[in-house]
Amino acid sequence: MSSSSKSALSALGRRSDAPPITWLMILALSRPKLISLAAGFTDQETLPNTETLSLLTDILGDSKRGKAALQYGTTQGDPVLRELTSLRLLQQDQAAVARWAESRCDSAGNRSAVSATSLDVSAYAPERMILTHGSQQLLYLTCEALCDEGDIVLVEDPTYFVFLGIAQSRAIDCRGVKLDPDGLDLDSLEAQLERLKKSGEIKKLKFLYLVSYYQNPSSVTTSRAKKAAALKLLRRYERAAGHPIYLLEDAAYRELRFEGDDVPSLLAEPGAAERVIYAGTYSKPFATGIRVGFGLMPEALQTVCLRLKGNHDFGTANLLQQIVARSIQTGIYAKHVAMLRKRYADKAAVILHALEENLPSSCSWLKPNGGLYVWTALPKHAKAGQKGKFFQAALDAEVLYVPGEVCYAEDKSRPRPANEMRLTFGGASEDAIREGVRRLGKAVGKFYGKS
Amino acid sequence: MSSSSKSALSALGRRSDAPPITWLMILALSRPKLISLAAGFTDQETLPNTETLSLLTDILGDSKRGKAALQYGTTQGDPVLRELTSLRLLQQDQAAVARWAESRCDSAGNRSAVSATSLDVSAYAPERMILTHGSQQLLYLTCEALCDEGDIVLVEDPTYFVFLGIAQSRAIDCRGVKLDPDGLDLDSLEAQLERLKKSGEIKKLKFLYLVSYYQNPSSVTTSRAKKAAALKLLRRYERAAGHPIYLLEDAAYRELRFEGDDVPSLLAEPGAAERVIYAGTYSKPFATGIRVGFGLMPEALQTVCLRLKGNHDFGTANLLQQIVARSIQTGIYAKHVAMLRKRYADKAAVILHALEENLPSSCSWLKPNGGLYVWTALPKHAKAGQKGKFFQAALDAEVLYVPGEVCYAEDKSRPRPANEMRLTFGGASEDAIREGVRRLGKAVGKFYGKS
């Protein structure tokens, strides 16, 4: 890039770094024998081509319905799909809350005060929803609507690295909050908030970004109690901030649960609708080639996001919305998700078994209850980063992972662990997973010993 | 919106106005009997539901092909569709240049020096292309990549009002350049450039936005000679600007030509590839429910746009790209476009005939050679704006148009005409067009006399 053409760029343009995905893909493409345990692709075999064709035959085979699907929709998104999504989410939360109350009753021996009917139905209203080009677009719109350069967002340590890419590009200052195996560390959250309050930076804090279900990259789920407590904690600092502090709940992997109970979303908490932005998606649980995500949010914010979305693209491709709506109406969606959960449960078992067999006891990993990832730690002193010798050795053995350090915000107030890897069992076949982990195990053995 | 929640918004969020489309749609929805000559919808009857289903049967009926279409693609877009688009564009320009040379030979009586083979093929390379979620997304990405708040963009008087919405939202300062019936007024362009140079503001000028084919809203096409001259003119001011000044050629309506010759794009000009951003789309010529647009641009800019696109949504929905690719490969696309041209020619004839019959001679309009719009002027002193009595009278008569004034940039250096309307023959049926124009004619007669 010549310096003169560079100077025509905006500050945003000049600043935006290449995302990690770029060099990961270049590596993958340049090595045809490479087994990728890196790419967040979904399982190829189970992609619903027959089901999608049958849905499209229903839609396009009917002249009126077909032509409506091929015309522009609205910026906010198809009313029917919003209605279906809203109802589905409400029912999901009602069931999750009921199950939660039941489990508390079991353990505490008395009836919980919370009942499923106590949910604030208006929090789930289709009017509060925007349908987006994948939930990624909702993350982008939220950042645009809320954050100026230099504004602060709290993120988990580690967090979804593409979100960090948005933040880097838009000069949003991300601060890390510790993540425990059962979710966000509340003490760490409070400590960050206190620090921001003391320094006066709290005025720049706009939201907490929480990937609450089977998190990318760690597979950790944040419990209902922790989510509710985090929301309360944020509210306590609003006076110091001088404005609302939102909580963006990214539920991208919620549908991909294969063990344990579903956790109620933050929308189920009383009054949460005023502060919670809930982002979900149909892409990962149905087909990633069909990009439809959705978000529910407070009205003031929604008004702005709709204006921005209008400028981005007027609205999400209507045909895709119709496929998703019909998949829900016909039950094809529910059936597909049920099958997919079983499939990922099997693939998770394969990778966990392979890790057990091939990695020395100096390594550890978190057992996922859903999602696509196994967050794996090499010994503490190990360096798994892109520029390190271990990453190169893995590459030489034809296996690719995502270095864990790209999942940590640039927050100088704490060290950034360098010994972690994000492995995925999403895209690779069972054989590839086994072989990939075997290769990885060999590299680990060479570098860090076999025990 | 409470003032406290407003204060959590970013400057971009606070600034973004509701687009005209919002109140136009609210009006349309609140009046079921309304005939809309406003909405930029495409013809409903000819939407290709049978063709699309047959393409999808080909794609999804084959397991391997189907699963590939349902998986993520790349951020840049499907290589096959980029290849097809690149080739198609090159052939289009080669034919247009040949035809242009021929016509010059005819009129001047000697052979033109320009031959079709002299095109710089590398300007059309698929590597230079990004596939986007409609060409609207390309406009947004370009603004993000090039413009900071307060930067300047030159636009036609009038121009595409959604582009003005992006500019308003992002605090980009648009300056108007006069538009003649044969395109951009070069004297006016030079005068604006001189003014910017004198004031020193030229340093903030980033690009000229030119809707070059059957412009929305005016239906004007800018000739090859004028486009080439505009590009040269911009280059002359680059030294003063201190950076490249780009020319964004928005060719959204190019395919919808129903009269006259195709005009070569700016990519056909020698060296233009360094400065031209070419935006095209498959949505309007095929189906607006399938959102696939594309852009070709200089490498330095493309690198940035790809990073931004990765943050927006990773990439355009793969299934939609596969539909478009297959429609080109099978010839379905070409056949559909040919049919559509005929269809819009007929509908344009209907609206022109209706205008002739119903509007007094104090009104005038431009005869379109393509696109979806008829730019219509009431008498000079008339006020056709949203808040005026005439707009209300038209509404009371159940007919809706886009007030022309929303298509002019906020540029205080010249008055903004208030007597114009954008009418469209795209979405409405022939009967609705006739009846809509009849109603409009009655309102005009009442306000401005019958002759």
- pLDDT value for A428: 93
B401-427 residue pLDDT tens = 999 999 999 988 888 999 999 999 999
Closest chain B C-alpha to A222 CA, distance in angstroms: 25
Closest CB from A206, A291, A301 relative to B317: A291
Write the burial class of residue B360 (CB in 10 Å: 0-12 exposed, 13-18 middle, 19+ buried): middle
Confidence of residue A1 (pLDDT cuts 50, 70, 90): very low
Provide the pLDDT for residue B24: 84
For residue B353, give both structure tokens. 């005939």
Q: Does A56 touch chain B (CB under 8 A)?
A: yes
Token digits of residue B387: 């808040």
Chain A contact for B16, CB < 8 A?
A: yes
Q: Is B42 on the interface with A (CB under 8 A)?
A: yes
SS3 A140: helix
DSSP letter string, B93-112: HHHHHHHHHHHHHHHHSS--
pLDDT at residue A151 is higher than 70: yes
Which tokens is B9 given? 């918004």
Query: pLDDT at position B414, please?
Result: 87
B11: distance to nearest CA of chain A, Å?
7
How far is B317 from B77, CA to CA, in rounded Å? Answer: 9
Beta-bridged to residue A377, according to DSSP, are A364, A420
pLDDT given for residue B6 in this prediction = 58
Whether pLDDT at A423 is above 50: yes
Closest partner residue to A317 among B25, B151, B317, by Cβ? Answer: B317
pTM, two decimal places: 0.96
Residue type, B315: G
- Residue B20 at interface with chain A, using a CB cutoff of 8 Å: no
* Mean pLDDT calculated for residue range B73-100: 96
Q: Phi and psi at residue B299, in whole multiples of 5°?
A: -60, -45
- Looking at the DSSP bridge assignments, the partners of residue B207 are B153, B246
Contact B308 A148 (CB under 8 A): no
The pLDDT-based confidence of B107 (bands split at 50, 70, 90) is low
**Does the pLDDT of residue A298 top 70, yes or no?**
yes
pLDDT at B39: 84
Q: Is B313 on the interface with A (CB under 8 A)?
A: yes
Minimal-distance CA residue of chain A relative to B12: A145
- Residue A32 confidence class, pLDDT cut points 50, 70, 90: confident
Of B244, B236, B168, B170, which Cα lies nearest the Cα of B205?
B244
Calculate mean pLDDT across residues B139-164. Answer: 98
Pull the structure tokens for residue B36. Answer: 């809309």
Interface test with A, best of B1, B7, B9 (most A CBs within 10 A): B9
DSSP state, residue B331: S
Mean pLDDT of chain A: 94
Measured between CA atoms, the residue of chain B closest to residue A148 is B10
**Averaged pLDDT, A303-328:** 97
Helices (H), A387-429: 389-396
**Which residues lie closer than 8 Å to B216 by C-beta, 6 or more apart?**
B40, B160, B252, B253, B371, B372, B373, B422
CB–CB of A313 and B244 under 8 A? no
3-state secondary structure of B92: helix
Cβ atoms B248, B277 nearer than 8 A: yes
- A171–B contact, CB cutoff 8 A: no
Of B71, B288, B307, the CB nearest to A44: B71
pLDDT in tens, B266-304: 999 998 989 999 999 999 999 999 999 999 999 999 999
A53/B48 CB distance under 8 A = no
Q: Which of B7, B41, B136 sits opposite A71 (nearest CB)?
A: B41
Residues of A with CB below 8 A from B6's CB? 300
Residue A165, Ramachandran bin (φ over 0: left; ψ between -120 and 50: alpha; else beta): alpha
**Domain boundaries along the sequence of chain B:** 3-47+337-448, 67-332
Is B423 an 8 Å CB contact of chain A? no
Q: Using CA atoms, how far apart are residues B157 and B184, in angstroms rounded to an integer? A: 9
**Would the pLDDT of B111 be above 80?**
no
CATH 3.90.1150.10 corresponds to the domain A10-47+340-448: yes
Whether the per-residue pLDDT at A68 is higher than 90: the answer is yes
* Closest approach of B208 to chain A, Cα-based (Å): 13
Q: So what's the pLDDT on residue B105? A: 74
Q: What is the mean pLDDT of residues A361-377?
A: 97
Residue A115: predicted pLDDT? 52
User: Looking at the domain covering A67-332, what would its CATH class be?
Assistant: alpha beta
Q: Tens digit of pLDDT for each residue in A201-245?
A: 999 999 999 999 999 999 999 999 999 999 999 999 999 999 999
ipTM computed for the complex: 0.95
Residue B117: per-residue pLDDT = 55
Q: Among B21, B29, B132, B144, which would you mutate to test the A interface (most chain A Cβ atoms within 10 Å of its Cβ)?
A: B144
**Token output for B236:** 């002359």
At A420 the pLDDT is: 98
pLDDT value, residue B76: 96
Res B258 pLDDT > 60: yes
**Residue B242: φ, ψ to 5°:** 85, 10
Q: How much is the pLDDT for B1?
A: 43
CA distance A309 to A294: 12
Q: What is the pLDDT of residue A109?
A: 54
pLDDT at B451: 79
Q: Please, what CATH class does the domain formed by B3-47+337-448 belong to?
A: alpha beta
CA distance A153 to chain B (A): 12
For the residues A346-351, what does the mean pLDDT come to? 98
Q: Which of A14, A56, A70 sits opposite B48 (nearest CB)?
A: A70
More confident: B442 or B109: B442
pLDDT at A117: 55
Bridge partner list, A178: A157
Q: What is the mean pLDDT of chain B?
A: 94
Q: Which residues of chain A neighbour B147 with C-beta distances below 8 Å? A: 10
Collapsed DSSP state (helix, strand, coil) of residue A153? strand
Is B298 an 8 Å CB contact of chain A? yes
Q: Is A12 on the interface with B (CB under 8 A)?
A: yes
The pair of three-digit structure tokens given for residue B8, joined into one six-digit string:
């959590």
